[in-house]
A = this chain, B = another copy of it.
Amino acid sequence: MKSSELGCLESGDLRISGELICKICQDLYNSGWVTGTGGGITIRSGDAIVIAPSGVQKERMQLEHLFVMSLKTREYLHKPLQALKPSQCTPLFLAAYTCRDAYACIHTHSQEAILLSEVFPNSDYFSASGFEVLRHIPRGSKRNGFYSVTDAVKIPFINNTAHESDLHDSLKAAILAYPEACAVIVRDHGIYCWGDTWQDTKMNTEAVEYLFQAYLRSRKIEY
């Protein structure tokens, strides 16, 4: 495509954010968290947020597929030339941006989130303690420091809804009710995870998913 067709993604910080989204989509695909176009990602640069579209295979994501929205006006600063749909996660990403001053958000379709939903059918939150990885999980934001190994992290569950956008209110409520969480588990669906930078967001996502895996695998030993 002609570079002019990339609009504000053509250069500068937005281009860097866009290229990062494409690379991280490949990482997330390789981790099994976004197969079949599941999941989503957004990275913020000042007032502008770059968002991967709906329905595009994550491992084939290109700059020309991405949307850019103004956080203040909620208007699209750039839309792809192709007739792509904005991500259905957009309202949820906005909740993380506005309630937490996050600079990126990742939505995974991890099967561990599904399994935890079944292990804790009636809990408001997932809790675990004693794992080294807790030292890599921030208390909502790294501005508040990190958990220690003996702390019990709490990551809230919210129920899944018929449409992704219907998750907005309960996600926002969970974000506000659990200020020391950097992620929310959507039952039978996946997680939303954010951070103070795109690096923090990717690290927080991997740390939380690692905790889920280690917890589930450890739990089998008790059987």
Chain A residues near B (Cβ < 8 Å): 27, 35-38, 57, 59, 109, 111, 114-115, 118-119, 130-133, 135-136, 148-150, 160, 162, 164, 186, 188-190, 199, 202-207, 209-210, 213-214, 216-218, 220-223
Contacts and interface: CB of A to CB of B under 8 A. Distances in A.
Contacts of A148: 162
A115 B36 contact: no
Contacts of A205: 36
A203 B160 contact: no
Q: Name A's interface SS.
A: helix
A112 to B, nearest CB: 9
Given A150-B162, A213-B111, A57 B190 contact: no
A222 B220 CA distance: 9
Contacts of A209: 35
Q: How many copies does the complex hold?
A: 4
Contact of A132 (B133, B188, B213): B188
A218 B114 contact: yes
Nearest to A137: B36
A114 B211 CA distance: 11
A115 B38 contact: no
A128 B179 CA distance: 35
Contacts of A203: 36-37, 57
Contacts of A114: 131-132, 214, 217-218
Contacts of A223: 115, 216-217, 220
B118 A133 contact: no
Nearest to A211: B36
